[in-house]
Each structure stands twice: as C-alpha cells, then as structure tokens.
Chains A and B, each alone.
Chain A
Amino acid sequence: MTIKDVISVQRNRNQIMDEHTKREIRRAVLTAVAVPGYQVPFGSREMPVSRGWGSGGLQITVAVVGKESVLKVYDQGEDGGVNAANLRRLIRNSEGVKTTTDARKADVIQTRHRVPEDELQENQILVLQVPVPEPLREVERDMNELRRMHAEADYAKIWVSLYEDIVHNGVVMKTTGYPCLIDGRYIIATTPIPRWDVPKLHQAPFLALYGAGREKRIYAVPPYTDVEPLTFDDVPFQVEEVNAVCRSCGCSGMKTDGGEAGYLVELPQQDGSSQWVCSDTDWCNRQLNTYLPEDQDFKAGELW
C-alpha cells in the first residue's frame, strides 16, 4: 500500500473529525465519567464552528453518536435557532444520524444552556455546550491556585462569595451556571443553564457530558449522581419563577404551583407590558397537542 493509496481512501467530504480523534475524545469522556465533576483536559480540535459557538459540545456529540443514533440539537430551548440548525446539519452530514426535535425520542441531545423540560431516561445522553468551565473563576484568577483548590477540595472562597452575596444583596446573586457539588467532591459550572434546570440534574437517570472546546476541557456527571447547588442549609435555592403563564401553551412560570410549569422568557411589548413564553419550544408545542413529524426541521414562525 502506498501513501497515495492511503490518501485516496474515500473520505466522506463532509466528515468533520477523523476516527482516531473520535477515539481520543471518547477516552477523555470515559475519564470524565470515572471521576464525576473533574475537568479532563483534552486535545480539542478546531471544528467548523467557531470557538465559543459549541465546538466542545460538537466534538463530544460527533464522538459518541453512531449512524443509528437519533439526535436533537437545540439552543436556548429552540430547535429552530440558527446556530442549532447549523450544528445539526454539520453533524448529520458528517455522521449520518437521524434527527428529531422531541427530547423524549433522542438518544443524544446537544444543548446550549437548557435542560429539557421532559424527564430524560436512562439510555439518553445530554451533551452541554460550555463557554467557561471554571466555576471558581469569579473568586480566583490564578490558574495554579485554581488547580490547587480543586485538588484539595478547598472551596472556602466560593462559599465566602455566597456569604458576601447574601450580606450585601439579601440573596445569592448567582444567575445561571450555578456552582454545584458533584458526588460530594468537585464543584462544577453547570454551564449557563438557568437555576430552573439545576434540580433536574440531581440523581438523574441520564448521562450528562459537558464540553468546553475553547478551554479544552471535558467533564461529566454520570447517572444517579448527587448534584447539589451550593447554598447554606437555611437559605433556600431560588429558581427563576415568574407569576405568569406561557402565552402559547398556558403553562405556569411557577414551579410551586403544581401542574405543568416551564421556564418562561420575557417578550417585552410595545406598550411597556410583557408577555411570557416557554423557552423549550418543542415541549411547549406538545403541551398544546400540536405535534410535528419527527424528520422535519422545526420551521420557525414569526416569533417562535
């Protein structure tokens, strides 16, 4: 066999990652799963999407899917988002997967900043896109010190930041990407998912993989693992609730109401008032009992 033979092997022109690299990434994923919450460095490759736009999540997804996999990709809860559509297309052309917008039917879900409102099951993988994997970034900048803090589980500084928050602001001010303690050992940044989604991670039956392409780290939360948001015993963990309902499906923005509740986002109106709508578009659609065929890309309507 000559070099010419090797080069001329028919490559799928749309393949975005070679097989050897996929294996490398799977190995990093396995290490991550074996040490829940530990940030595993990996040889992050450049992808057709820019750094900061999901290159890490993309690498994990491409490494774990097979031809028979059913894939969902969505962004801020929307399947119709432009970046999600781009990623979905890239993966489909590269790996030949089937796609869906229904979280219940997907084997692998690549998501930017949301966890599905549906309860995921044991055989599903959630791949989260991570802009900044370091949860202690706000309290420490020096990378050597950060490494030590994680190695020694010396997390006093971030606890102090919670104390200071409450003392100065009355509440913990952390918005999304709330720091959580995994399996009682490592603190992770739960990517910028809203606090609304954090309780879904605790002792969840699904596997959660976190990919930071730019920072070149992978971490994981295996199924049935403790995920505890950092907070004091006597200061309840607060999620983003709003006393409103989704203008489309009517579900509540309050978890505490009982009945169906979803994370709602605000649509400011011309007259100064606000309407609210579910962030998770496919779930919302199903609350309405309007159901789309699985193999169609979700067609975005005017304000969807």
Chain B
Amino acid sequence: MVNWSVQLQDLGCIYGPNDHASADETGPLFGTNVSETYDSVVACWDVNLHASPGEALGVIGESGSGKSTVMRCIAGDQKPTKGDLRLVSVEGGQRNIFEMDDSARRALRIDQLAVVYQDPSEGLDLKISAGGNIAERLTAAGWRNFKDIRDRATELLHRTEVPLNRMDDPVQTFSGGMRQRVQLAKALANKPPVLILDEPTTGLDASVAAGVLDLIRGLLDETGIAAVVVSHDFNVVEMLTRRCMVMHHGRTVEVGLTDQLLEDPQHPYSQKLVAAARG
C-alpha cells in the first residue's frame, strides 16, 4: 500500500545520441547540459520525485534546468531515455507508465493525469467554446447526457471564476488569464488524482496572476489532488507547495520543505536563486 499518488524514479532524458555515458560529463559539476564527446544534450538525469494526495510538490529552476523536460515526460509529451513513473490509480502503482504504448498513455490523460500548460492554447481548442472544451473531456470519459455535461461545465467554470455568460464563446476570444482559468476547469473535469501545472501564471499580468494563483491554491486544498508545480518563480512555488526541489543543469541539487528551503537554502545554486528572488 503506497502513500503517494505519483512517483517518478530515475528519470533521464537525452536529446541526440542517447549514450548514457554522456551523463557523466554533464550536470552542475560540469556547468553544462551539453556532452561534447557524444554531441548530445542531457536535458535531465537521475530525477526522482513523488507527490501524495492533497500535496503539491514544486520543481524550481531557470530555463535549461530540465524542469520542463521532467514535466513533459510525466505528461507523456516527451519520451524519456530511462526512468520509472507510477500512478497509484493505475494498477495500484505497480505499472511503469513509461512502458505503456502511446494510446494507453493518451487514455490516462482523460481522468488519471491532467496537465495545465504554460500556453493555454496547448491545452485548449481555441475554436470551440469554454463549455465545449470541458465537454470534450467529459465525453471522452463517456458522459452522454447533455444536461449533466452542461451542469458540470457550468459548475467548473463557476469554480474557476469564468463569467458564465461567456461559457458559449469560443476560447480564442478570451484573455490570457481567462484562458488559463478555462484550462484549469478542463483539467479538473474528470477529477483526476494527479495534476501537473507548468508555469501556470507565467505571461500573465501581475494582478491576473495573483488571482489565478489564489484560485489554484483553493482548488488544490479542496480537491485533495496530488500536484506537481513546475516554475521558475519562487512566489508561485511558495504559494502553492509544501515541498519543492531545485533543478540545475538537468539534475536535482536540493530537495526540502518549501518554507525551509526558502529561508535557509543549502546548495550554492539554491542560495543564488533565493537571493535573486528576495533581492
């Protein structure tokens, strides 16, 4: 009986010729992701994480840290070079998700694992209505009653503070912040146990971002979902997560409770990041 909802072990992802030996000449000690000898980029290596129900884990790093690659591997948008990913909702956590075929992984995205992308157009069909985007998830899960679908979409959009009189408008007429809210509503449509958020407020105006963050925090509390929040922004991680990990040049350099890490970072790179954020 495991106590996590999602567990990732030993994730590695190499772009280019994927000789595992290239990992030996990359990472924070070498100051680079690039392997000269093998002409490859070790986007991430030896990454482990887990999140339990009701818990949010932060993954912090700057661009090139590998955090986006980690996110995409878990989401299924990117194939890893090595690694083991499990969801407790899939065969009690006995199955390595990375070994599943593409269509099985796609099926997971209906109600086992949801993703909120930095760019809402990646997670939404802009040409259809806000309600329609949610209906897409519901019908994929087998909902066949129009009233039920409409009610659930209404409920979700209400919860994510999208004005209901815009429910039938095509999403491309929405502002960035509003699109993000619709993306959230859609992600939660089938009550997935695990949610990945990738830079959820990057690109939004500060006031809009604050509202979305508040919303996400409320949702995480309410739903008991296990979340992985990927961000370069310490404020986001501080607001949403209880634990976090810092990534640099594709490796994890520090893991700890978010509060403690922010107050007293141990690794030199974490110290730099925290200083920059606070400074």
Contact = CB atoms under 8 A, between A and B. Distances in A.
B146 A159 contact: no
A157 B144 CA distance: 13
Report the contact-size class of chain B (Cβ under 8 Å from the partner).
10 to 19
A159 B125 CA distance: 14
B145 A168 contact: no
A159 B103 CA distance: 19
Nearest to B153: A163
Given A160-B139, A166-B146, A233-B144, A154 B106 contact: yes
Interface string A143-160: 000001001101111011
Chain B facing A: main interface SS:
helix
Contact of B135 (A151, A152, A163, A168): A163
A234 interface: yes
B264 interface: no
Interface residues of A, number: 18
B140 A156 contact: yes
Given A154-B106, A168-B168, A160 B145 contact: no
Interface in A149-179: 151-152, 154-157, 159-160, 163-164, 166-168
A152 B129 contact: no
Interface string A224-239: 0000000011110000
Interface string B132-147: 1001110110001111
A234 B136 contact: no
A154 B168 contact: no
Contacts of A164: 128-129, 132
A166 B131 CA distance: 12
Interface in B75-102: none
B104 to A, nearest CB: 10
B106 A160 contact: no
A160 B136 contact: yes
A159 B168 contact: no
B141 to A, nearest CB: 9
Contacts of A232: 144-146, 149
Nearest to A235: B146
Contacts of A163: 131-132, 135, 139, 146, 149
Given A163-B135, A232-B146, A233-B144, A151 B129 contact: no
A238 to B, nearest CB: 14
Contacts of B137: 156
A234 B147 contact: yes
Interface string B113-141: 00000000000010011011001110110
Given A159-B136, A232-B146, 17 more contacts: A148-B103, A156-B136, A156-B139, A157-B136, A159-B140, A160-B125, A160-B132, A160-B136, A163-B131, A163-B132, A164-B132, A167-B132, A232-B144, A232-B149, A233-B144, A233-B145, A234-B147
Interface of B: 103, 106-107, 125, 128-129, 131-132, 135-137, 139-140, 144-147, 149, 168
The 3 closest A-B pairs by CB, nearest first: A159-B139, A232-B146, A156-B140
